[in-house]
Structure 1
């Protein structure tokens, strides 16, 4: 599973942050790693440098083997919360998809 980390110009996307979130995503989606070819992570600050609530948005796009890509988003106050929330949502979606496949 390849993970591509993208940020906008207002988010610090240095290698240290990228590595931290790559490990977080890999661990969070480990159960489905055999079925995922690539994860694209897009982290943006909806307000730019202005202060606001739930302005950090994380979009996770998962490319699954033999299936159409799927995407989830989560908005939160911090990058960590946004990424963690998106991982939880993606896990729930993947669980539903793979449970349906095994039941049919």
Structure 2
């Protein structure tokens, strides 16, 4: 499972943050790692340089083998909260998708 982290120009993308997010993804989605070829994470600041609440967006796209990509997103006041919100949603949607696949 390949993991790619992307940020827009308004979100700082430090190596330490990328390592943290990659580790959290690998740990949280480990039970799906043989079924997912790629995970992409996109961080954006919807307000740019302006101050605002819940303006940090995290979008996670998972590409399961033999299936259409699955995409979730979450907003929060800091990127870490948005990431964990989106990660929780991704775990739920992957569980549902693979359970449906087993049923067929």
| Length-normalised TM-score, structure 1 | 0.95
What is the CA-CA distance between 1:78 and the residue it aligns to? Answer: 0.9
What is the CA-CA distance between 1:103 and the residue it aligns to? Answer: 2.1
Q: How many residues align?
A: 104
Report the 3-state secondary structure (helix = DSSP H, G, I; strand = E; otherwise coil) of the residue aligned with 2:50: coil
Give CA-to-partner distance per residue, 1:22-70, whole Å, 9 cap, x none.
1111111112111110001100000112111110000001111011111
Q: Report the RMSD for the aligned CA atoms in angstroms.
A: 0.9
Structure 2 residue runs of 5 or longer lacking an equivalent are none
> Matches of 2:31 and 2:54 in 1, distance apart?
29
| Length-normalised TM-score, structure 2 | 0.95
Give CA-to-partner distance per residue, 1:43-100, whole Å, 9 cap, x none.
0000112111110000001111011111111111111111111111011101111111
1:70-89 to 2 correspondence within 5 Å?
70-89=70-89
1:1-104 to 2 correspondence within 5 Å?
1-104=1-104
